[in-house]
Amino acid sequence: EDQVTQSPEALRLQEGESSSLNCSYTVSGLRGLFWYRQDPGKGPEFLFTLYSAGEEKEKERLKATLTKKESFLHITAPKPEDSATYLCAVQPMIKAAGNKLTFGGGTRVLVKP
């Protein structure tokens, strides 16, 4: 069974204090690893897709990296508007799994000015 574990559960940062979020996963053949941002009461908003170990993607202050067992979301010099819950999800290669995304529990990030 596919599993995704995110750590830490919560993270409090001062504005400008860089940090990293971890997503550890086990999956029967990785089709893709997805990062989403979720604001309270809203739907997950897509950030990145990573497909193979060594791949990196960047968007503004966010950078996602992927290894064979985990992914990191690095937040560089965060601003208060980066406060959100960040979700990691994996999709297996097997089509029979219904293209299901298996999500981790998320990391709640609070950036204080």
**Site of interaction with other proteins (CB under 8 A):** 31, 34, 36, 41-46, 49, 87, 89, 91, 95, 98-101, 103-106
Task: Output 40 or 113, the one with its CB closest to other proteins.
Answer: 40
Task: Output 11 or 37, the one with its CB closest to other proteins.
Answer: 37
Cα–Cα distance measured from residue 92 to residue 98, given in angstroms and rounded to the nearest whole number:
9
The verdict on whether omega for the bond into residue 8 sits within 30 degrees of 0, i.e. cis, is: yes
Task: Output 6 or 83, the one with its CB closest to other proteins.
Answer: 6
The nearest distance, CB 16 to other proteins, in angstroms, is 30
CB 107 within 8 A of CB 89: no
Count of beta carbons in the 10 Å neighbourhood of residue 16? 11
